[in-house]
Amino acid sequence: MANVPENLHYSKDHEWVRVEGDTAVVGITDHAQEQLGDVVYVELPKPGEDFAAHESFGSVESVKAVSEIFTPVSGKVTEVNQTLNDEPEKVNQDPYGEGWMIKLKMSSRGEVDSLLTAAEYEDFTKAESE
Amino acid sequence: MDSNITKVATHISHNESLIFERSHPGRAGFSLPPLDVPETALDEIIPAHFQREDDLAGMPEVTEVDVVRHFTRMSTWNYSIDLGLYPLGSCTMKYNSRLNEKVARIAGFANLHPLASEGEAQGALQVVYELQQHLTEITGLPGISLQPAAGAHGEMTGVMIIRAFIDARDGREKSAQRRTMLIPDSAHGTNPASAHLSGFTVKTIRSTTEGLTDLDHLRELCAHGDVAGLMLTNPNTLGLFERNIQQICRIVHEAGGLVYMDGANMNALVGVARPGDMGVDVIHLNLHKTFSTPHGGGGPGSGPVCCTKELEPFLPVPRVVVRTRSGSDGVDSPVFKLDFNQPQSIGRVKAFLGNYGMMLRALSYILTHGYDGLREATEAAVLNARYIAHGLLADYEKPFDAPPMHEVVFTDKRQARKGVHTLDIAKRLIDYGFHPMTIYFPLIVSGAMLIEPTESVGRQELDQFIEAMRSIAREAVEDPELVLNAPHTTRIGRLDEAAAARKPVLRWKPREADTEPRAVARG
């Protein structure tokens, strides 16, 4: 079973958000990386770009397919994980840690509350695979 | 461990070192006579900054026969439609008949200069015109251009025509409010790419659990007055006929949009049903799929666009048209002309007439089949896919109940319980002598295996394929390791695709430690 940490917020597009003050750290879930297979390339935005919630901010290319990744919340990109340029495998190995993708300065703190909890996300992925 | 399987085709198992490794100092494929003119310094002919400084270090030194043998040996490693079944769903790898090849090599066509005048190219233009007539009849759409060089090029041409039409109909200002293109979630990835390149924003339509376009979602997306069009593949990429196609077209038309049909799957419709009759406004065809012209590296492709009378003025120029010439003897004869005088045209999309050799092959295919034959080919393509669907039902998960058209999608759901996935099944199929099916597409089906046998396959080979797939399903239960490590009988075993994509070695380099060349690209 895929790992779903308690302290994160989740989107139906299989991204996770960790809130650190007014910053949202965003990545894709363990379930998502399992479904994608070996990740070979991650395309990320530049710091300073603004994104609305649920907007595509980049893409993940695996041996199976290229998939868009979406911002669960709106905000301005403050930092992107440059390590993924050379080591995209971090997304597979440590999706909630070294495989993080972008940090956003959130424009609205309330948005995370509309995301799924760990338990809700687990139920959602279960229902999806039925 | 493979002694029990029936192998359909043999593999060439000899390995071949790189051409760089076959190099011997001093060998060459030429011998020049002694210089009998004054020598000119190289610097006088080529400026120093254009000259290489490495003296072509590491370039292989080989003779002509070394080169010929090297590449001939490697050519035997290819798998092709001439060797066996190529069941790539959505790619329609049907047999390319030798007669079509012969026609394409007729000297008068093959050697015609692309800049020959209309008067000197009447036969060539007649071929274009006649193919146009057949394709417009097959699609039920009277406007046509054969220029686009491939499917995605045809798609983009079609979408540009939609945009030009809406610009003319609504005026630039109002047209700018219509920049949404609707595309189902099962579509080929080229559809959103074509729409995006033509200045549209893509909105995705959900598929129903039946695998068809969700009409309620379509209506919802059409309710905002911003829809320029819908791009729909029919049958869709799940191999299912969109039976609500007329209603779908009506909904989009009532919202002020146009319907573009991706003709990738026309192999299921030719001679049986016409997109024009369904309400489609513009479509592209793949001559390299549906009309049996060569594919992939054997191409090039050809992606003609057909459209309604209303869209015709926007087609690329020049258009190939026929005029009547009254002879002095009172007998009228046809004259084929290039018509550039189409002020609303989106312009030229390809040099000259397009990929002309493909047009000859496609016309040959149509004429040798005749309309009854084209219909029979379609029926056989659908029958073959359904035969495979039936044959694999007991062993593989079929995610949609509806009978498939020309291709059928299965999944690895049952095998995945044993840790055997779609990729493993595809690799194991190679051991049985078959090219794998399309895998992990459509994206909306987890672990998809999309199988399209085409009409070129006989019952015996269909049975062999089904037996191979059923055998793999048994192996997945009894000896999963065998499948997980496949292929076993090929020249090279399972490749590390992730490492190849993450750390690609794109060119040979001389070894740094010494001057002896060696391959760094060896797996």
- Residue numbers in A near B423 (CB within 8 A): 37, 63
What chain B residue is nearest to A32 in terms of C-alpha separation? Answer: B446
- Residue numbers in A near B443 (CB within 8 A): 65, 67
Given a cut of 60, is residue B160 above it in pLDDT? yes
Given a cut of 50, is residue B298 above it in pLDDT? yes
Judged by CB atoms closer than 8 Å, whether chains meet at A40 and B502 is answered as yes
In a domain, A124, yes or no: no
pLDDT at B457: 95
pLDDT at B1: 47
Given a cut of 50, is residue B183 above it in pLDDT? yes
Given a cut of 80, is residue B58 above it in pLDDT? no
Residue B55 contacts A, CB cutoff 8 Å:
no
Q: How far apart are CA B302 and CA B359, in angstroms?
A: 8
pLDDT at A22: 93
Average pLDDT in the B278-288 region? 98
Given a cut of 70, is residue B519 above it in pLDDT? no
Q: Are strands A50-51 and A75-80 parallel, antiparallel or unpaired?
A: antiparallel
What chain A residue is nearest to B438 in terms of C-alpha separation? Answer: A64
Q: How far apart are CA B431 and CA B489, in angstroms?
A: 6
Q: What is the pLDDT of residues B379-393, one digit of tens each?
A: 999 999 999 999 999
Residue A118 contacts B, CB cutoff 8 Å:
no
Q: How far apart are CA B358 and CA B102, in angstroms?
A: 12
In a domain, A104, yes or no: yes
Lowest mean pLDDT among B29-33, B190-194, B314-318, B328-332: B328-332
In a domain, B61, yes or no: no
Q: Cα dist. B441→B10, B18, B47, B238 in Å?
A: 28, 34, 52, 9
In a domain, B182, yes or no: yes
Backbone φ and ψ of A107, nearest 5°: -90, -20
In a domain, A120, yes or no: no
Query: Hey, which residues 6-25 in chain A have their CB within 8 Å of chain B?
Result: none
Q: How far apart are CA B296 and CA B71, in angstroms?
A: 19
Judged by CB atoms closer than 8 Å, whether chains meet at B498 and A40 is answered as yes
CA distance B439 to chain A (A): 8
pLDDT at B522: 36
Q: How far apart are CA B289 and CA B378, in angstroms?
A: 12
pLDDT-based confidence at B518, cuts 50/70/90?
Answer: very low
Taking the CA atoms of residue B132, residue B138, residue B144 and residue B148 in that order, the dihedral angle to the nearest 10 degrees is -90
Judged by CB atoms closer than 8 Å, whether chains meet at B498 and A66 is answered as no
- Residue numbers in A near B440 (CB within 8 A): 64-65
Q: For CA atoms B463, B467, B468, B472, give the dihedral sign.
A: positive
Which residue in this structure is represented by tokens 């090599």? B105
Q: How far apart are CA A65 and CA B177, in angstroms?
A: 32
- Residue numbers in B near A66 (CB within 8 A): 189
Q: How far apart are CA B38 and CA B224, in angstroms?
A: 79
pLDDT at B11: 54
CA distance A39 to chain B (A): 7
Given a cut of 80, is residue A130 above it in pLDDT? no
Lowest mean pLDDT among B53-67, B89-103, B119-133, B357-371: B53-67
Residue B440 contacts A, CB cutoff 8 Å:
yes
pLDDT at B516: 46
Average pLDDT in the B178-197 region? 95
pLDDT-based confidence at B296, cuts 50/70/90?
Answer: low
Note down the domain range covering B264: 99-367
Average pLDDT in the B470-485 region? 97
Partner residues linked to A68 by β-bridges = A59
Q: Which are the contacts of B268, defined by CB distance < 8 A and separation ≥ 6?
A: B235, B239, B241, B378, B381, B382, B405, B406, B407
Residue B75 contacts A, CB cutoff 8 Å:
no
Residue A87 C-alpha from the chain's centroid: 17
| Exposure class string for B173-203: b at 16+ Cβ within 10 A, else e | eebeebbbbbbbebbbebbbebbeebebebb
In a domain, A73, yes or no: yes
Given a cut of 60, is residue B13 above it in pLDDT? no
Given a cut of 80, is residue B10 above it in pLDDT? no
Contact B290, B151 (CB under 8 A): no
Q: Cα dist. B191→B186, B410, B449 in Å?
A: 10, 23, 21
Closest in A66, A67, A89 to B502, CB measured: A89
Q: How far apart are CA A130 and CA A10, in angstroms?
A: 20
Residue A126 contacts B, CB cutoff 8 Å:
no
Judged by CB atoms closer than 8 Å, whether chains meet at A65 and B446 is answered as no
Contact A5, A118 (CB under 8 A): yes
pLDDT at B517: 45
Average pLDDT, chain B: 92
- Residue numbers in A near B501 (CB within 8 A): 38, 40-41, 61, 63
What residue type is A114 in one-letter code? S
CA distance A64 to chain B (A): 6
Given a cut of 50, is residue B521 above it in pLDDT? no
Average pLDDT in the B463-468 region? 98
Judged by CB atoms closer than 8 Å, whether chains meet at B440 and A65 is answered as yes
Q: How far apart are CA B299 and CA B355, in angstroms?
A: 9
CB pairs under 8 A between A and B: 28
Q: What is the pLDDT of residues B303-318, one digit of tens each?
A: 999 999 999 999 999 9
Contact B285, B154 (CB under 8 A): yes
Given a cut of 80, is residue B358 above it in pLDDT? yes
CA distance B443 to chain A (A): 8
Judged by CB atoms closer than 8 Å, whether chains meet at B502 and A66 is answered as no
pLDDT at B223: 97
Contact B335, B325 (CB under 8 A): yes
The per-residue DSSP string of B228-253 comes to EEEEEESS-TTS---TTHHHHHHHHH
Judged by CB atoms closer than 8 Å, whether chains meet at A63 and B498 is answered as yes
Judged by CB atoms closer than 8 Å, whether chains meet at A64 and B501 is answered as no
pLDDT at B53: 83
Q: Cα dist. B305→A35, B278, B340 in Å?
A: 37, 17, 17
DSSP-assigned letter for residue B510: -
The counts of H helices and E strands in chain B are 17, 12
Q: What is the pLDDT of residues A91-111, one digit of tens each?
A: 999 999 999 999 999 998 889
In a domain, B325, yes or no: yes
Q: How many other CB atoms sit within 10 Å of the CB of residue B223?
A: 10
What chain B residue is nearest to A84 in terms of C-alpha separation? Answer: B502
pLDDT-based confidence at B511, cuts 50/70/90?
Answer: low
Lowest mean pLDDT among B52-61, B76-85, B187-196, B232-241: B52-61
pLDDT-based confidence at B2, cuts 50/70/90?
Answer: low
Given a cut of 70, is residue B424 above it in pLDDT? yes
The per-residue DSSP string of B343-394 comes to TT-----SSTTSSHHHHHHHHHHHHHHHHHHHHHHHHHHHHHHHHHHHHHTT
Average pLDDT in the B79-89 region? 90
Burial, B518: exposed, middle or buried (Cβ in 10 Å; 0-12, 13-18, 19+)? Answer: middle
Given a cut of 90, is residue A1 above it in pLDDT? no
Residue B497 contacts A, CB cutoff 8 Å:
yes
B63 vs B326, more confident: B63
pLDDT at A41: 94
pLDDT-based confidence at A60, cuts 50/70/90?
Answer: very high
Task: Give the neighbor-by-neighbor strand order of the sheet with A39-43.
Answer: A39-43, A56-62, A66-70
Based on the structure, what is the number of domains in chain B? Answer: 1
Query: Hey, which residues 27-66 in chain A have their CB within 8 Å of chain B?
Result: 35, 37-41, 61, 63-66
- Tell me the percentage of chain A whose pLDDT exceeds 90: 86
pLDDT at B523: 32
- Residue numbers in B near A41 (CB within 8 A): 501-502
Given a cut of 90, is residue B56 above it in pLDDT? no
CATH number of the domain at B294, please.
3.40.640.10
Given a cut of 80, is residue B81 above it in pLDDT? yes
pLDDT at B12: 56
- Test the A interface: residue of B209, B425, B440 with most A CBs within 10 Å: B440
Based on the structure, what is the number of domains in chain A? Answer: 1
Average pLDDT in the B254-276 region? 97
Q: Which are the contacts of B38, defined by CB distance < 8 A and separation ≥ 6?
A: none
Q: How far apart are CA B477 and CA B414, in angstroms?
A: 10
CATH number of the domain at A79, please.
2.40.50.100
Closest in B189, B440, B502 to A64, CB measured: B440
In a domain, A33, yes or no: yes
Most confident among A74-78, A106-110, B505-509 (mean pLDDT): A74-78
Average pLDDT in the B509-521 region? 53
Which residue in this structure is represented by tokens 């989107």? A11
In a domain, A71, yes or no: yes
pLDDT at B490: 87
Q: How far apart are CA B370 and CA B376, in angstroms?
A: 10
Given a cut of 90, is residue B14 above it in pLDDT? no
Note down the domain range covering A95: 9-109
Which residue in this structure is represented by tokens 């530049």? A46
**ipTM of this predicted structure:** 0.78
HSE value, Cβ hemisphere, 13 Å, CA-based, for B208: 14
Q: Are strands B305-307 and B143-145 parallel, antiparallel or unpaired?
A: antiparallel
Average pLDDT in the A44-54 region? 95
What chain B residue is nearest to A56 in terms of C-alpha separation? Answer: B202
Which residue in this structure is represented by tokens 């015609």? B112
Query: Hey, which residues 194-213 in chain B have their CB within 8 Å of chain A?
Result: none
- Residue numbers in B near A38 (CB within 8 A): 497-498, 501
- Residue numbers in B near A40 (CB within 8 A): 498, 501-502
pLDDT at B83: 87
- Residue numbers in B near A13 (CB within 8 A): none
What chain A residue is nearest to B399 in terms of C-alpha separation? Answer: A130
